[in-house]
Amino acid sequence: EAEESFRKALALDSNLAQAHFNLGYSLAVERRFEEATDSLRRAVEILPSYSDAFYELGNVYSLSGRLVEAVESYVRAIQLHPGRIEVYNNLGLVLGWQGSHADAEAVFRQLLLLDPKSVKGHSNLAGALMSQNRFEEALASLEAALRLDPECAEAHNDRGSVLEAIGDLVESTSSFRRAVECRPTFVEAHSNLLFGLNYREDLSAREIHEEHLAWGERHAAPLSPERPFLDLARDPNRKLRVAYLSPDFRTHSVAYFIEPILAAHNPDAFEVIGYSDVPTPDKVTRRIASICREWRPVFGKTGSEVAEMLRHDRIDIAVDLAGHTGRNRLLVFARKPAPVQVSYLGYPNTSGVRAIDYRITDFWTDPEGEADTLHSERLVRLESGFNCYLPPPDAPPVTEPPLLSSKRITFGSFNNLAKVNRMVISAWAGILRRVPDSRLLIKTRHMADPLIRNRVVERFAAEGIAEECLVLVSHIAEMSGHLDAYRLVDIALDPFPFNGATTTCEALWMGVPVIALAGDRHAGRVGAGILARIGLPDLVAEDLPDYIDIAETLAADRERLRDLRLGMRDRLKGATLLDAQSVTRALEAAYRRMWVEFLASSQ
């Protein structure tokens, strides 16, 4: 009725800016963004000083994924009406999505000058600070938000993210739980809680599994549809339409493993459709888009909208690449928009979503037996190994081991600091004590914060390791520079119970052998799987004493260290870890079996 009345008013006088605004606003509420944009643009053409219309236009552009235009509209709205708090808030959020974190910080600080008691302002400022590796400042900003509103779910969630990033895992879990208590429907916070549990060495795989099932029952099960797939071409051998959905089709770890798979798919048997939830596409996004048969940007769309897109595209197999990582779309899969649904690559655990039928893995990371009882999905193990790594084309050449010039062994880890828990620090300290005159290089973005560096130094000091035995390196922006830092490392140490994956592959590509500990869950067996696939199972420890022994033995064998380093790239090139064709053929065979099983079960 509102839309009809606004259109009637405009039929009488098409130059009514207020009517164009009202129509645009009502269309935006109905998520008819293209029409809303036209109406709001007409409003500001008629009345260039219309601040409210520029603000709403910014909102529509933001929800449509047109972030550059959103920023321009918000800036114009502020110029016309400098005191409107919500415009600053939305502008700061969009700048953050674009990666302009310093600009976002400046906007949120301006917001707080206008309203020092803005809970959103303090909470969102923390996000901008965290993105700049200023974790202690971010915590202070969140504490300010929670003093103003102790029940603010967003602030508790953001506090959990900061605490997780700096390795305070128990307190991080508590913050995520508090966020969910404050708002039981806060799906993102609940996913963040689950992701963080994978870092916890004090929780069993069974306990973590139960938490995932609880997430599925609370958030996913109520969305389970009753819409059967009646109009399918039920040919077991026909070309299948496979959709891959991810927020990480960009410069991101997931892209290093999915791009070679997408490029190797057989176009005669599979049509690949990419559903990209990337707010700011980059060169990797464009490269992956060029590989796919069809490309669907879905940033800003609701779960029900994306599910309808999948149904409309007549997808046969939908593949989730995110699990419970940031900006995941598990609630799309909960709606069962495709006959066969698969979890793959991006998350090292079960989704807990009953509507997802299968999870792709292998025999190394998920041995048959207990692993099958720890997943809501049915595990499908690829003989080739479940993943395939694409080395960066600008990787520098492998160098001689640094010990030849430094005359001392340098161990190293380039992993996320959240993975460096108390047990890991204790084990690494044990290695440093056993290997005379050795040192440990830890490279992570968190080291840009002096207070975080001090925390790390203190944790090792508690284990009897002096600061001079540590080399703490912060983020290096360019990939070539990041990889070049491996020239300083003789032996890489894999953390546990949450192993590295990209970091392990990068270390190996740069010639650095990696020592891993085989755990009791997928996240803790990725390192073991990678090393087994490249013919180095002797670098996989069965327990902590073995982990330390292997490090000591390898450090003493300088001839082997040199041989491993200089021959590592050839070793990788001869393994399935870099063989996209063999991994993709195995994956396609698995997809075909899934399709045949679906047809048989849905007669």
Does 258 fall in a domain? yes
Evaluate if residue 338 carries a pLDDT over 80: yes
How far lies 449's CA from each of 134, 442, 479, in Å? 6, 14, 21
Mean pLDDT of 25-54: 96
**Same domain, residue pair 380 and 447:** no
Q: Strand 294-297's sheet: what is its strand order? A: 294-297, 270-276, 240-246, 317-320, 340-343, 358-361, 378-381
Nearest CA-CA partner of 215 in 333, 75, 367, 91: 333
**Same domain, residue pair 591 and 548:** no
The domain tally of the chain equals 3
Does 170 fall in a domain? no
Tally Cβ neighbours within 10 Å of residue 226. 5
pLDDT reported for residue 313:
97
Mean pLDDT of 247-257: 96
Distance CA 162, CA 302 (A): 27
Mean pLDDT of 57-81: 97
**Same domain, residue pair 421 and 346:** no
Mean pLDDT of 18-24: 96
Evaluate if residue 226 carries a pLDDT over 80: no
* pTM, rounded to two decimals: 0.95
Q: What is the CATH number of the domain that holds 51?
A: 1.25.40.10
- What percentage of residues in the chain have a pLDDT greater than 70? 100
**Same domain, residue pair 532 and 493:** yes
Of the residues 147, 164, 181, which one is the last residue of a structural domain? 164
Distance CA 278, CA 548 (A): 41
Q: What is the pLDDT of residues 147-172, one digit of tens each?
A: 999 999 999 999 999 999 999 999 99
- The pair of structure tokens assigned to 389 is 């790594």
Range with lowest mean pLDDT among 106-120, 214-228, 431-445: 214-228
**Same domain, residue pair 433 and 327:** no
Q: What is the pLDDT of residues 431-443, one digit of tens each?
A: 999 999 999 999 9
Evaluate if residue 414 carries a pLDDT over 80: yes
Q: What is the CATH number of the domain that holds 357?
A: 3.40.50.11380
Chain position carrying tokens 């259109």: 7
Evaluate if residue 533 carries a pLDDT over 80: yes
**Same domain, residue pair 338 and 416:** no
pLDDT band at 57 (very low <50, low <70, confident <90, very high): very high
**Same domain, residue pair 342 and 440:** no
pLDDT reported for residue 164:
96
pLDDT band at 581 (very low <50, low <70, confident <90, very high): very high
Does 285 fall in a domain? yes
**Same domain, residue pair 287 and 427:** no
**Same domain, residue pair 27 and 139:** yes
Does 183 fall in a domain? no
Supply the DSSP symbol for 219. I
Mean pLDDT of 337-353: 98
Average pLDDT, rounded, for the chain: 96
Evaluate if residue 477 carries a pLDDT over 90: no
**Same domain, residue pair 477 and 548:** yes
**Same domain, residue pair 441 and 547:** yes
Evaluate if residue 603 carries a pLDDT over 90: no
Q: What is the CATH number of the domain that holds 468?
A: 3.40.50.2000
pLDDT reported for residue 173:
98
Does 448 fall in a domain? yes
Evaluate if residue 475 carries a pLDDT over 90: no
Distance CA 511, CA 85 (A): 52
Mean pLDDT of 365-381: 97
Evaluate if residue 227 carries a pLDDT over 80: no
**Same domain, residue pair 123 and 52:** yes
Chain position carrying tokens 């030849």: 404
Axis-axis angle for helices 253-264, 580-601 (nearest 10):
80
Evaluate if residue 1 carries a pLDDT over 80: no
pLDDT band at 231 (very low <50, low <70, confident <90, very high): confident
Distance CA 583, CA 421 (A): 33
Give the residue numbers spanning the domain of 55: 2-164
Q: What is the pLDDT of residues 262-300, one digit of tens each?
A: 999 999 999 999 999 999 999 999 999 999 999 999 999
